[in-house]
Amino acid sequence: MSDNAKLRAIPAIEKLLQSLGQIDMPRPALVAVVRREVAALRKEPAIPSYDEVLARVRKSVDQLRAQRIQPVLNGTGIIIHTNLGRSPLSSAVLETLQSIGGDYNNLEYDLVAGERGGRAGYLEHNLAILCGAEAATVTNNCAAALVLALRHFTSGERKEVIISRGELVQIGGGFRIPEVLEASGCTLREIGATNKTSLADYRRAISKNTAIILKVHRSNFFMCGFIESPSTEELSELARSKRLPFIEDLGSGAIVETADIPGAEHEPTPAEVLKRGVDLVTFSGDKLFGGPQAGIIVGKAKMVAALKREPFFRALRCDKLILSALQTAVDCYLHGAPTMANVIDLMLRASKEELETRAKSIITNLGGVPAKITIGLGKAQVGGGTLPKAVIESVTIDVIPKNISLADFAARLRSGPMPLIGYVSANRFKIDLRTILKSRDVDVIRALQQALVK
Ligand SMILES: *Cc1c(COP(=O)(O)O)cnc(C)c1O
């Protein structure tokens, strides 16, 4: 093709935009995608047909649109799903977001004195009470809380953080504890072996360079067999006798007992860890807590105050939305209404009978769709790097579509107006109802109908 002929064969941007039809995306964004696809054509030896070009543009647009954050139905059975936004917020918290976000508020204003005031005083007060702590504060996320604490305690001459090799864990998204620790500028003093670290290992490692003893809760895996690690009480006694701060990163941290959930084990609460003598505990505001993502720091008043004085704290502080949302979640707990604070807790505790009733109703409502649909069994997991042993019996909707493959069916469900994500097992597509709110059952029905009767 001559260069001129080639140029003439390139479709006009405007024509492509018209052919795309109505697309729910701002026009400048759409134009940019079309331009990019058209520009790419110039590099090709021959210009493909108009329909082919249009198909490429459409694919690009779809790919971009799929990256827009939107609600999805989580049928995976993984309750705190890191890829799917971790913990959904309760309606009490959502009401707070609505009222605080949509108007002015007293974020940094003292209503009694009528002048500039502190931030999050009420939240910090109540959070401390909830955790049985002297004081509390909040950062953007738990990783930030950890970095803040480590930076603070290793900013002087003493740089070493003592940590067991059994706790150098990786949590989701390539977040490795050793890398975070080093990002804070400290030096790791790894001790013990993966499976065994003794109190003597800690004692031997302490020197004039030691800044802190750090314990990281093995939140997303468990070890059994030939293992050893000193108790928190022993470590705190050692830390106290050497005048070293003792910090524990709990990761999740539960407020209510999880061991009474069938299939789940006990998850340490910040209060019990503090009682065992830890000076500072860090944990996430979402995960099992069920609030917005945030990094909660609770413990000794002096230490919390020192962290808040760090200039770096300014870079990690939360905005009004997070602080007010967390404030509501904390108050719900203190009012003795944990399920008001926490959708995760509600999902964890839903009975099988309840889920079965919903499954039956969904299947009845589906009517004559071209598929074999049955009620199946599921094994839900807590996810989010918490309660790794827990396997919680669940109920699934099992679908074997008649006219399309399981992979195509799954892709259709993902591309619908309310994307539904499930999993394939034993040659069927399974949708776990434990991770779908009852109020969303109508969306499940609609999504299945759309994907099956296309
Ligand atoms: C999840 C987790 C974190 C990080 O929490 P974010 O809120 O994602 O920053 C840190 N430590 C442990 C042990 C965790 O499980």
Q: Residue range 101-113: average pLDDT?
A: 97
Whole-number Å distance between alpha carbons of 373 and 379: 19
Q: Residue range 82-108: average pLDDT?
A: 96
Burial of 153 (0-12, 13-18, 19+ CB in 10 A): buried
Smallest CA separation from ligand 1 atom 1, residue: 251
Residue 417 has pLDDT above 70, yes or no: yes
* Max Cα distance, the chain (Å): 84
Q: Residue range 378-404: average pLDDT?
A: 94
Q: Copy the structure tokens of residue 423.
A: 């999993």
Assess contact for 284 and 293: CB atoms under 8 A: yes
> Which phi and psi (to 5°) does residue 431 adopt?
-120, 110
Q: Residue range 373-390: average pLDDT?
A: 93
Instruction: Please provide the DSSP assignment of 91-125 as one string.
Output: HHHHHHHHHHHTS---TTEETTTTEE--SSHHHHH
Nearest to 267 by CA among 389, 126, 434, 141: 389
Q: Residue range 119-133: average pLDDT?
A: 98
Q: Copy the structure tokens of residue 251.
A: 């990761």
The residues, any chain, with a CB within 8 Å of residue 163's CB and separated by 6 or more, are: 177, 181, 188, 189, 190, 191, 214, 215, 216
More confident residue, 426 or 386: 426
Q: Residue range 183-207: average pLDDT?
A: 94
Smallest CA separation from ligand 1 atom 5, residue: 142
pLDDT digits (tens, 9 = 90+) for 238-270: 999 999 999 999 998 899 999 999 999 999 999
* SS3 at position 286: coil
Whole-number Å distance between alpha carbons of 187 and 162: 9
The residues, any chain, with a CB within 8 Å of residue 15's CB and separated by 6 or more, are: none
Whole-number Å distance between alpha carbons of 110 and 221: 45
385 in contact with ligand 1, CB cutoff 6 A: yes
Mean pLDDT computed over every residue of the chain: 94
Q: Residue range 316-342: average pLDDT?
A: 94
Residue 181 has pLDDT above 90, yes or no: no
Residue 176 has pLDDT above 90, yes or no: no
pLDDT digits (tens, 9 = 90+) for 421-432: 999 999 999 999
Quickly state the pLDDT bin for 318 (edges 50, 70, 90).
very high
Assess contact for 73 and 443: CB atoms under 8 A: yes
Centroid of ligand 1 to alpha carbon of 109 (angstroms) = 31
Give the Cβ contact number of residue 156 at 10 Å: 8
Ligand 1 closest atom vs CA 143: 9
Question: Count H helices, E strands: the chain?
Answer: 19, 18
Centroid of ligand 1 to alpha carbon of 301 (angstroms) = 23
* Window from 70-84, 98-112, 167-181, 399-413 with minimum mean pLDDT: 167-181
Centroid of ligand 1 to alpha carbon of 387 (angstroms) = 13
- pLDDT confidence of residue 341: 82
Assess contact for 266 and 258: CB atoms under 8 A: yes
pLDDT digits (tens, 9 = 90+) for 24-47: 999 999 999 999 999 999 888 888
Give the Cβ contact number of residue 263 at 10 Å: 16
* Window from 3-7, 146-150, 216-220, 297-301 with minimum mean pLDDT: 3-7
More confident residue, 221 or 187: 187
Rounded to an integer, what is the distance from CA 181 to the centroid of its chain?
A: 20
Q: Copy the structure tokens of residue 346.
A: 């509600």
User: Please, where are the H alpha helices in 91-211?
Assistant: 91-101, 121-130, 142-153, 177-183, 199-205
Instruction: Please provide the DSSP assignment of 330-369 as one string.
Output: HHHHHTT-HHHH-HHHHHHH--HHHHHHHHHHHHHHH-S-
Residue 165 has pLDDT above 70, yes or no: yes
| DSSP category for residue 154 | T
Q: Residue range 167-179: average pLDDT?
A: 81
Assess contact for 236 and 268: CB atoms under 8 A: no
Ligand 1 closest atom vs CA 180: 10
86 in contact with ligand 1, CB cutoff 6 A: no
Q: b or e along 359-394 (b: 16 or more beta carbons within 10 Å of the residue's beta carbon)?
A: beebbeebeebebebebbebebbbbbbbbeebbbeb
Q: Residue range 149-178: average pLDDT?
A: 89
87 in contact with ligand 1, CB cutoff 6 A: no
Quickly state the pLDDT bin for 1 (edges 50, 70, 90).
low
171 in contact with ligand 1, CB cutoff 6 A: yes
Residue 3 has pLDDT above 80, yes or no: no
Q: Residue range 185-189: average pLDDT?
A: 91
- pLDDT confidence of residue 218: 86
What proportions of the chain, in percent to the nearest 5, are helix, strand and coil? Answer: 45, 20, 35
Among residues of the chain, what percentage have pLDDT more than 90?
85
- Strands, E, within 160-279: which ranges? 160-164, 170-171, 175-176, 187-191, 210-216, 246-251
Q: Residue range 5-21: average pLDDT?
A: 90
- pLDDT confidence of residue 7: 78
Q: Copy the structure tokens of residue 271.
A: 């209060």
> Which phi and psi (to 5°) does residue 401 adopt?
-70, 150
The amino acid that residue 202 corresponds to is Y
Centroid of ligand 1 to alpha carbon of 50 (angstroms) = 49
* SS3 at position 374: strand
